[in-house]
Amino acid sequence: MTTRFKNNLKVKKGILLSLLYLLVSSAPLFGAEVLTRRLSISFQNTPIKQALDKVAKLADFEWSYNTQILNAGHRVTLTANDWTVQEILREMLGEEYVFKSNGKYLILKRQKPPKTEVSGVIRATKSGERLANVTVYDRKTLRATTTDSSGYYQLKVKKKTELVVVRLGYRDTILQVASMSPRYRNLELAPVPIPPPDSTTSKESIRKAIREAATELDYFFSTSLDKWLDLNVPDTMHRRFQISFLPMLGTNHVLSKKVENDFSINILAGQSAGVRYVEAAGLGNFTQKRVSGFQAAGLFNLNRGNCNGVQAAGLYNKTADTLNGVQLAGLVNVAHYSPRFSVQVSGLVNVIRKNNSTDSTANPPKGVQLAGFANKASEMEGVQAAGFINTAHNIEGVQAAGFINTAHDVKGIQVAGFINKARRVRGFQIGIINSTKDLKGIQIGLINRSEKRWLPIVNWGK
């Protein structure tokens, strides 16, 4: 009986502690709601104290303030239809006061907001609709924020700067901020028509987006970013220098993926629209559009655009578009296409994907692939050298592997420690076993096959 009593007591104590934790943890959430609650209210020459009490009653909260901080002679005339508590209080009291919620209480203090901060509500012209997901950023520092569901924004700024206010489907607005400017600025955006997208382009864009998001390592960061930045700020900006700790935690702030940098130093990992000269990271670099200089990382470089320079990583390099440069990796290099001469060197695998161009006259990839284990290319003009296997659809040049080479068409030389296999050969095959259906050249090996002919040592075809 004693043991059962103790167990019941433990269960009850656990329930009480859980309820206490829920009450304590939910208090800040409840308080945070106060300023965003919406009211419809009207005042006509009403004393300020009476107006504040009426707001508190309708919004279901209690005031906490020293009555001496209020101007007893101040009267309020205001009509608010579906406004937030924060908007109403700003209109009633101006910028001389700040509010802080604590549970069901709203604390009122007489204090000017800091000059390094601008806030307000953004609405649509004519309709007066509050606009959520509006991007507001400082043109100088690139600090940015997005309006909440009530259209409210709050942003740290320089004393003198320009704020850019943008949202898809609305006309961009520039807000001038000076040292004497009001800190609370309500804005209106005028809607503009959005042209319907071309069906072919939109389908290809969807396919490309799916391909990019399917396997890339920056999926974690992409899903945590505000997707509205991509829609609201489509243009690329330029900065001479960036330093960051992680994506979004740096001198370019949340707009880092929209900025092309001349030089970029990323302590752990960094994100940018592009690299013009040099970028280095302790762990990894994420690039949205192009690399035209030197990009180095301790683990990986992931580039969604073109590479016209050098990527060097301890583990992995990926260029989702064309490669016109060099990839050096401890394990894996991946590129989409190489119209001009390029080099891939890795300890394990190199891959150049197929050219998806509809232009039948497009040149095949050109360059060199050197891998400790395997090389793969759809088409290649140059050299493939691997410790184990090389594969290519068409090869013009040299395939050299420790074990096996495979290709559809060969114009050049296949050299393997064991097997060479191709559908058509215009050149040489040198290995223990050589096989092709169409030979115009020479096979040298223990077993040589062309069409239905099998010969040891040497086989030739015209």
Residues of the chain with CATH 2.60.40.1120: 117-189
**Percent of the chain predicted with pLDDT > 70:** 81
Grade residue 25 by pLDDT with cuts at 50, 70 and 90: very low
Q: Which residue has the higher pLDDT, 199 or 172?
A: 172
Mean pLDDT throughout 192-207?
Answer: 56
pLDDT of residue 295: 94
pLDDT of residue 13: 52
Residue 261: CB partners within 8 Å, gap ≥ 6? 238, 239, 240, 241, 242, 252, 272, 274, 275, 276, 279
Grade residue 117 by pLDDT with cuts at 50, 70 and 90: confident
pLDDT of residue 29: 37
Grade residue 212 by pLDDT with cuts at 50, 70 and 90: very low
Residues of the chain with CATH 3.55.50.30: 38-110
Residue 12, pLDDT above cutoff 80: no
Domain 38-110 belongs to what architecture? 3-Layer(bab) Sandwich (3.55)
Mean pLDDT of the chain: 80
pLDDT of residue 21: 44
pLDDT of 324-333, one tens digit each?
889 999 999 9
Instruction: Just give the CATH number of 117-189.
Output: 2.60.40.1120
Residue 296, pLDDT above cutoff 80: yes
Grade residue 364 by pLDDT with cuts at 50, 70 and 90: low
pLDDT of residue 34: 82
Highest mean pLDDT among 77-86, 170-179, 312-321: 312-321
pLDDT of residue 23: 42
pTM above threshold 0.75: no
pLDDT of residue 258: 85
